[in-house]
Amino acid sequence: MLSFQHDGEARGYESITTAASIGFTSSYYNYSSVSNMPMKAALITVETADIRMTLDGTTPTVTAGTAAGHLITSGQNYVVRGYENCKNFRCINAVAASSAVVKCTYFY
Closest CA to 93 of 51, 48, 32, 33: 51
pLDDT for 1: 46
d(CA 75, CA 47): 6
pLDDT for 3: 55
d(CA 64, CA 26): 30
pLDDT for 49: 93
What domains sit in the chain, N to C, each tagged with a CATH number?
10-107 (2.60.120)
DSSP state of 43: E
* pLDDT tens over the chain, length 108 residues: 455 567 888 989 999 999 899 999 988 887 666 667 889 999 999 999 999 999 999 999 987 677 899 999 999 999 999 999 999 999 999 988 778 999 999 998
- At 57, which amino acid appears? G
Neighbour tally for 48: CB within 10 Å: 15
pLDDT for 32: 61
d(CA 85, CA 88): 5
